Chain A
Amino acid sequence: AQSVTQLGSHVSVSEGALVLLRCNYSSSVPPYLFWYVQYPNQGLQLLLKYTTGATLVKGINGFEAEFKKSETSFHLTKPSAHMSDAAEYFCAVMPSSNTGKLIFGQGTTLQVKP
């Protein structure tokens, strides 16, 4: 069965520091991969996605992620954290485009310290 693992339920960085949120997936075939951000008491906002093509994907708010098939990873990075980046981040995999189902990781809370 497909699954998504986000390493680290809580990540704390200083403002201006590099943000690295880790995501590994298990899938028998190359899946579609997504990162979503959730602010308190709100729904999810799509940050970026990988479907096909270039493995380095750029998203909104300065985030990017790289699909590494050999490592089954899709880590999210941002060069310089901003206070407004503090939120919950979810990695998700769509194992099959036929069903459209998303399988989410456990989520990582990003704290940004001034």
Chain B
Amino acid sequence: GAVVSQHPSWVICKSGTSVKIECRSLDFQATTMFWYRQFPKQSLMLMATSNEGSKATYEQGVEKDKFLINHASLTLSTLTVTSAHPEDSSFYICSAEIAGTGRKTQYFGPGTRLLVL
């Protein structure tokens, strides 16, 4: 149980294009999902908290107009990197919190590696 998937797992795009990454909770409902970014050999940095049916809460320094988050259902959150540039190349990981668990455990997706040429 508590499986989180991400799609795609790999994406290569040209500079200036937009890329959408999906995060799905497969066997549970998630009122809250989190998006992280991980650079090579570094730790995870929280980008934003995604709440179903409401606007995402972004961490300081994260451009909300560049990283669009939509949490339209209890099992799906999407992260769209708009007008991607090479510096946006990174490993993007989402996590989901099972509804009703009191915010104590996040289950992570396998990650999406983005390479912007």
Contacts and interface: CB of A to CB of B under 8 A. Distances in A.
A7 interface: no
A41 B6 CA distance: 13
A53 B97 CA distance: 22
B93 interface: yes
B49 A90 contact: no
Interface in B63-117: 93, 95, 97, 102-111, 113
Contacts of A101: 34, 46, 49
B26 interface: no
Contacts of A36: 108
A28 interface: no
A94 B6 CA distance: 23
Given A43-B109, A99-B49, A104 B44 contact: yes
Given A42-B110, A45-B108, A49-B105, A104 B43 contact: yes
A2 to B, nearest CB: 12
B42 interface: yes
Interface residues of B, number: 24
Contacts of B42: 106-107
B103 A100 contact: yes
B104 to A, nearest CB: 5
* Interface majority SS (helix, strand, loop, mixed), chain A: loop
For the side of the interface on A, what is the size category? 20 to 34
Interface in A90-109: 90, 94, 97-107
Interface string A16-50: 00000000000000001000100001111110010
B32 interface: yes
A51 interface: yes
Interface centre among B44, B46, B49, B103 (most CB of A within 10 A): B44
Given A41-B113, A102-B34, A90 B106 contact: no
Nearest to A44: B108
A45 B6 CA distance: 15
12 contacts: A41-B111, A42-B110, A44-B108, A46-B108, A49-B104, A51-B104, A97-B102, A99-B103, A100-B32, A100-B49, A101-B46, A104-B43
